[in-house]
Amino acid sequence: MHIKNGRRLKHALKRYVVALAAVSMLQVWWICSVQAASQHVILVTTTSTQDSGLLDALVPLFETRTGYVVKTVSVGTGQALALGGRGEAYVVLVHAPEAEKKYLAEGTLINRQLVMHNDFIVVGPKEDPAQIRSVKKASDALRKIAEAKAAFVSRGDNSGTYQLERRLWKDGGLNPSGDWYLQSGQGMGQTLGIASEKRAYTLTDRGTFLALKKRLTLDILIERDPSLLNVYSVMEVNAARFPKVNATGGKVFADFLVSAETQALIKMFGIEKCGEPLFYPDAGKREEEIGR
């Protein structure tokens, strides 16, 4: 009897040890998973920050400085805002101020901070078939393109660039359509490539154009119109609305973008390759001060 009881006790202890080990392994796995998740930052941003090469300069520095790993999703601003507004990212870097303010009002995005600006330009073939080169206002230039039925490539993707384009057409009293008006449904880099191939006009941010200029057969035809100012801001996704969001990681990345070191890098970015900055730093400024 004593021998049987001893065997039962021994087996029971063995099962307990195995179960304890399994629990311990599960705890270790869970802790490691949580730690791994907490070290990731999901950034959604407009294609221009990617196509210009800016993120290639900033993200590795951020990862080295902080130990975080950034997962970047580069889409049109409309889609980037929608992803952030659904809690599918931790931090948002975009350039559509009016649309941004709607998400801030809803409370899905918080802590909007200005990061930088450049401007939009209208580019097209050197021969300029619509004769817009001497026009001052972008909306007037688009009207002339429509009247000439000269090829124009639109992003057509609800990006910040597309939203501005639609406003410019509206200001010119037009709703473009026809074979001359093409919609790429692509990011800025791809859209510029299509416009170059088709010898067409398009609206682009200056930074992406300058970064890709050597491979394009397009000239800057309209620039410096105040309506073409292009302001970028960073916002955090509201963890109070989306508990799974890594609020700490999102804030660390946002703070990194507006830090003195990063702003200095933004100020110099592009000068060596393009001969001029692709962006101008704006941290700490009010929106009405930008572009003066």
Tell me what pLDDT residue 34 has: 37
Q: Phi and psi (nearest 5°) for 112?
A: -70, 130
Q: Which of 228, 259, 276 marks a domain boundary?
A: 228
Number of domains in the chain: 2
The reply to whether 237 and 113 lie within a common domain is yes
Which runs of consecutive H residues, i.e. helices, occur in 39-70? Answer: 47-51, 54-66
- Band of pLDDT at residue 291, cut at 50, 70 and 90: low
The reply to whether 45 and 126 lie within a common domain is no
* DSSP summary character for residue 219: E
From the list 127, 136, 129, the residue with the least C-alpha distance to 222 is 136
Q: Which of 228, 250, 280 marks a domain boundary?
A: 228
Residue 204 tokens, joined: 């682009």
Residue with the two structure tokens 């100012």 = 229
Tens-digit pLDDT profile for residues 107-118: 999 999 999 999
The reply to whether 102 and 124 lie within a common domain is no
Tell me what pLDDT residue 2 has: 46
In a domain, residue 19? The reply is no
- Band of pLDDT at residue 253, cut at 50, 70 and 90: very high
List strand residue ranges (DSSP E) for 146-239, in order: 152-154, 181-183, 202-205, 219-222, 229-237
Domain of residue 198: give its range.
119-228
Task: Give me the DSSP letters along 99-111.
Answer: HHHHHHHHTSEEE
Tens-digit pLDDT profile for residues 36-76: 457 899 999 999 999 999 999 999 999 999 999 999 999 99
Q: Which of 175, 198, 228 marks a domain boundary?
A: 228
The reply to whether 250 and 267 lie within a common domain is yes
In a domain, residue 7? The reply is no
> What CATH number is given to the structural domain containing 48?
3.40.190.10
Tell me what pLDDT residue 92 has: 98
pLDDT at 156 over 50: yes
CA-CA-CA-CA torsion for 4, 10, 12, 14, nearest 10 degrees? Answer: -150
d(CA 218, CA 200): 8
In a domain, residue 17? The reply is no
Q: Does residue 33 or residue 196 have the better pLDDT?
A: 196
The reply to whether 180 and 243 lie within a common domain is no
The reply to whether 124 and 212 lie within a common domain is yes
In a domain, residue 3? The reply is no
The reply to whether 101 and 131 lie within a common domain is no
Tens-digit pLDDT profile for residues 51-60: 999 999 999 9
Tell me what pLDDT residue 184 has: 96
The reply to whether 129 and 190 lie within a common domain is yes
* CB neighbour list of residue 64: distance below 8 Å, 6 or more residues apart: none
The reply to whether 190 and 173 lie within a common domain is yes
In a domain, residue 67? The reply is yes
Tell me what pLDDT residue 292 has: 59
Tens-digit pLDDT profile for residues 15-41: 444 444 443 433 333 333 334 457 899
Percent of the chain clearing pLDDT 90 (strictly above): 82
Tell me what pLDDT residue 129 has: 97
The reply to whether 243 and 110 lie within a common domain is yes
d(CA 197, CA 227): 27
Mean pLDDT on 65-94: 96
The reply to whether 88 and 127 lie within a common domain is no
Tell me what pLDDT residue 142 has: 97
In a domain, residue 6? The reply is no
The reply to whether 219 and 250 lie within a common domain is no
Q: Does residue 7 or residue 87 have the better pLDDT?
A: 87
Q: Phi and psi (nearest 5°) for 10?
A: -60, -45
Q: Does residue 3 or residue 129 have the better pLDDT?
A: 129
Tell me what pLDDT residue 32 has: 37
In a domain, residue 4? The reply is no
- Band of pLDDT at residue 274, cut at 50, 70 and 90: very high
In a domain, residue 200? The reply is yes
CB neighbourhood size of 40 (10 A):
13
pLDDT at 89 over 80: yes
